[in-house]
Amino acid sequence: MSARPLLLELLTEELPPKALESLGESFASSILDGLRSRGLVTADATWRTFCTPRRLAVRVDAVIAQAPPRSVELKGPSVKVGLDAEGRPTQALLKWAQKQGATPEQLTRACDGKQECFWLHSTLPGESLAGAIDAVIAHALAKLPIPKLMEYQLADGRTSVSFVRPAHRLLVLHGAEVLPASALGLRSGRVTAGHRFQGPAEITVPDASAYVHLLEREGRVMPDFRTRRARIEALLRQRAAALDASLGDEAAVASLLDEVCALVEWPAVYVGEFEQEFLQVPQECLILTMRTNQKYFPLFDAKGRLLPSFLIVSNMEVDDPRFIVDGNQRVVRPRLADARFFFEQDKRTSLAERVPRLASVVYHARLGTQAERVERVRAIGRAIAQALGADDAHVDRAALLAKTDLLTGMVGEFPELQGVMGAYYARHDGEPGEVADAILEHYRPRFAGDDLPTGEAGVVLALADKLETLAGLFGIGQQPTGDRDPFALRRHALGVIRLLVEKQLALPLPRLVDIAFSAFGDRVGNAKTDLETFVYERLTGYLRERGYSTQEVAAVVEQRPAQLAEVPARLDAVRAFSALAEAGALSAANKRIGNILRKAGVGVAGEVRPQLLTEAAERALHEEVEALAPVVDARIAARDYTGALTVTARARSSVDAFFDAVMVMADDAEVRDNRLALLARLHHLMNRVADISRLSTA
């Protein structure tokens, strides 16, 4: 049976722009999965996903009208149950066969891996596309990641339907044939719609293969999201280059591109301008209002300074765009004027004058006000600064002022600017540059891949701020559960990890956790161990993302090293050790020793009594351990973890000889305990850098 392309399109009111691409991908993949599961798609089938602000569509290029027959193999009762002592069919077998529409003579016997059973082999006709299409569409719609459902009435005025937005048309074509289908109260046809303003209200699609070409030529609609996005980006970069400008931060550009692509069907790019005087306002404010509120692309000069112009992505391509440009310029000016007003008003009150008002701002019902939180961050910051030998005066002043910009009009309007505006206002107030920079940087890193603070005070304050949040919320039992993390504690923990590791801060994690909880006094419970475990769990994920293997990470992190800054060096040592010829045997031996010690209930290594070492192999091992111990100690003291692990590899022959010749669990209790003490000493020596037993595949 020949395969033909299948096209499905659901035409709707404007879909949520931030969810559009995921809706389109989900719709297409679910349709494809539904067809595949029914055997209606050929093995070499290709497909394309389409989504615009007003449509979700997919075209699968090799779909057959009738799936081929399929063989079915059903397992029935076991032979023991199905036959009586004389070998005649039992009632259990007769009833099972009757239920399947078969007789006992039509059954076969075969083993299912455990016992011999009766089997029924039959061939069922394949499912038809016409019979399956409604279920395929319904399943795809039900699986859509819809942010919020809305309920609306159909044209009959009686029937209500729930969907992300009202749906108006359903197009289903199998080749040139309309495939009868229904969904959301709609019956399928071959009619779609062009651009809302610049295309015909009805476009008849003669064949599934003509969909894209017809929409682009007659409808002024680019249905492919990625093609449309690439077109918008090309137009933006061409316009920017013509103006000797750039689009700025690439991550912000990419995010905004995704959003504007979900707002237009036939993109055009125009240039808008605003008055030079607005550039007296911090450019972050202007950039944010243009990108967030208006979906414009600000333009920048070669030095990254904001220019008084921006790019508009319009859904209308016209020969004379003056009305479009003028309209957008009229809209953006009040926004920029608001930003200027807030900035000028905020500067009239210094950050220091705002500090007392923090006492009236609730931070958390069980953790008090922002003023109380500030005092805790100050205490934590001073302790960390002193531990690092940093300037605690700058840290303390920055901690005192860091949250005061929450009380400003600008941050009230644009919460994303907290910290940024605090730094501007601190400089305006004449605060030291180190204090202003710390206020700016203390929220960093805000997300995965974000920059870390650069200044010493900023690093300390960022660490103190995150630790206060973690200790407080863990202390009142607000730990993340499953996918729920309303206070972004995973992000805060990752921030602590990145600061300690990437800034190479010689601060033990248990000490930091203790400092953080001490700042709360008896206001919160003791959840220190839980918080440390949480951080180590996040550390595991962080290290895996940096390219270390599961075994390498487990070997180091499961020892809960206090100094996180040393973890990468330990991991590199583990990797180097793994490449040694002796690594496999020593890892297996280490695992074996650990098992022996656990079963014997031996924890900390006891003293080895040389006079009880009767076997040559155990004396040799003892001499090897005693000779290697000071060398390993010296290497670890010098932070030469690779050297420390490499040195332990010298013990392989002695370890092998010991296990070949010595019975550890000797009958004599003193001899047995002495040998266990020797193994415990060896185990401790081998695991000074990492638990190398985790590298064993045995």
Domain extents for the chain? Answer: 4-66+128-219, 70-124, 225-346, 352-547, 568-695
**Residue entry with tokens 């030998």:** 389
Count CB atoms within 10 A of the CB of residue 502: 12
Q: Which residues contact 173 (CB under 8 A, 6 or more apart)?
A: 5, 6, 7, 179, 190, 205, 207, 208
CATH code: domain 568-695 is: 1.10.730.10
Judged on CB neighbours under 10 Å (0-12, 13-18, 19+), 59 is buried
What's the pLDDT at 604?
Answer: 64
Residue-level pLDDT at 605: 63
Average pLDDT rounded to a whole number, residues 270-275: 96
The tens digit of pLDDT for each residue in 422-453 reads: 999 999 999 999 999 999 999 999 988 889 99
Q: What is the pLDDT of residue 516?
A: 97
Predicted confidence at residue 6, as pLDDT, reads: 96
Instruction: Judge whether residue 7 has pLDDT over 60.
Output: yes
Q: What is the mean pLDDT of residues 405-427?
A: 95
**What percentage of the chain exceeds 70 in pLDDT?**
99
Mutual angle of helices 420-428 and 433-441, in 10-degree steps: 170
Residues 6+ apart with CB under 8 A from 11: 54, 55, 167, 168, 169, 170, 171, 192, 193
> In Å, how far from its chain's centre is CA 233?
26
Q: Which amino acid is at 652?
A: R
Q: In what helix (H) or strand (E) does residue 268 lie, and over which residues does it extend?
A: strand 268-273
Q: Decide if pLDDT at 412 tops 70.
A: yes
Indicate if the pLDDT at residue 124 is higher than 80: no
Which one has a higher pLDDT value, 582 or 397? 397
pLDDT per position as a tens digit, 546-599? 999 999 999 999 999 999 999 999 999 999 989 888 888 888 888 888 898 888
Residue 121 has pLDDT above 90, yes or no: no
Is the pLDDT score of 482 beyond 90? no
**Domains 352-547 and 568-695 agree in fold:** no
* CATH number attached to the domain at 352-547: 1.10.3210
pLDDT value of residue 491: 96
pLDDT attached to residue 56: 97
Residue 619 has pLDDT above 70, yes or no: yes
Q: What average pLDDT is seen over the chain?
A: 93
**567-578 and 550-557 helices, crossing angle to 10°:** 130
Would you place residue 8 in the very low, low, confident or very high pLDDT band (cuts 50, 70, 90)? very high
Say if residue 698's pLDDT is above 70: no
Q: How many helices (H) and strands (E) in the chain? A: 26, 19
List helix spans (H) across 389-455.
392-401, 409-413, 420-428, 433-441
- Residue 650 pLDDT > 80: yes
Torsion of CA 679, 684, 686, 688, to 10 degrees: 180
Report CA 78 to chain centroid distance, whole Å: 49
Segment 334-350 shows an average pLDDT of 94
46-49 own/partner pairs: CB under 8 Å, 24+ apart: 48/212, 48/224, 49/24, 49/25, 49/224, 49/225
Longest dimension (CA), the chain: 104
Average pLDDT over residues 143-171: 89
* Cβ-Cβ contacts under 8 Å for 663 (sequence gap 6 or more): none
Phi, psi of 70 (to 5 degrees): -125, 145
288-303 pLDDT, tens digit each: 999 998 999 999 999 9
Beta bridge partners, 9, equal 57, 171
**What does the pLDDT read at residue 533?**
96
- Paired tokens of 382: 């001073």
Q: What is the pLDDT of residue 600?
A: 85
Cα separations (Å) of 410 from 151, 344, 370, 439, 453?
38, 10, 18, 16, 23
Q: Is the pLDDT of residue 1 over 70?
A: no
Distance CA(136)–CA(116), nearest Å, equals 38
One-letter amino acid at 692 equals I
Total-model pTM = 0.78
